[in-house]
Amino acid sequence: MRHSRYVLVISVLLFVAVPAWGATWTVADSGNAATNGVNFQQAIKNATFGDTIVLTAGATYFASAGFTFPNAGTGTQPITVQSSNMASCPAAGVRVDPSVHASAMPKLVAHANAPINVNVRAHHWTFVCLDVSSDAADNSYAAALVQTATNGSGFGGFPTYDELINTHDIVLDRLFVHNPEVTPSNLHPQITEIGVSQATTPARRSSRIPLGSMVACPVP
């Protein structure tokens, strides 16, 4: 009988030690874009495989140097960054119409840098229903608004081959990627870029890249 009681206590301790799987990190709008950005980067740091980071629809999340998405370690479940108002985002497989859907998207904004920077060896990051742009203050524009395989150990910060092939499963789904003068009601041609440098990056058909954009092809 005493032996059974010990087994029960050990089982309970083991159960308590297991971390929660599939946590949701909600980054509410503080009313200040820079504060939102700091809180968002902290959520990125805290998130692990299977987690979801929820950003407030319509709110702006600003980081001058952009947001860095690291290698979270070992796992295969995606870490998802998405809007708090997915019900008003286009359904999966439906192309974004900014005049209809932009108000449901959180805004990721940087200054003369890409707002989305996925580090080398990072994997299983999924971005859904987001507005990605720059502030263009002082007429400073970013060469690319979404970059993968950044902060490499090669010359000039470029990735080595090993770093490149170990950066994978980055999904860009239903994004509105644009220069700041492009608005939901004024989709005139622009020059911007998604810099995709990894083994495989699904850029979902519904991702919105306005007319005139340049999109880099995945590098195998």
Q: Rounded to whole angstroms, how far apart are CA atoms 84 and 67? A: 19
> Could you tell me if residue 7 is inside a domain?
no
> Could you tell me if residue 10 is inside a domain?
no
Residue 52 domain boundaries: 20-215
Long-range contacts of 14-21 (CB under 8 A, 24+ apart): 21/50
| pLDDT for residue 153 | 93
| pLDDT for residue 48 | 97
Q: Rounded to whole angstroms, how far apart are CA atoms 42 and 35? A: 11
> Could you tell me if residue 114 is inside a domain?
yes
Give CA separation, 183 vs 50, 70, 107, 214, in Å: 33, 30, 12, 18
> Could you tell me if residue 192 is inside a domain?
yes
Total number of domains constituting the chain: 1
> Could you tell me if residue 13 is inside a domain?
no
> Could you tell me if residue 168 is inside a domain?
yes
> Could you tell me if residue 11 is inside a domain?
no
Per-residue pLDDT of the chain (220 residues; tens, 9 = 90+): 444 443 333 333 333 333 456 999 999 999 999 999 999 999 999 999 999 999 999 999 999 999 999 999 999 999 999 999 999 999 988 888 899 999 999 999 999 999 999 999 999 999 999 999 998 788 778 888 999 999 999 998 889 999 999 999 999 999 998 888 888 888 765 555 555 554 445 554 333 333 323 333 233 3
**pTM of this prediction?**
0.80
> Could you tell me if residue 44 is inside a domain?
yes
Q: Rounded to whole angstroms, how far apart are CA atoms 142 and 134? A: 7
| pLDDT for residue 196 | 53
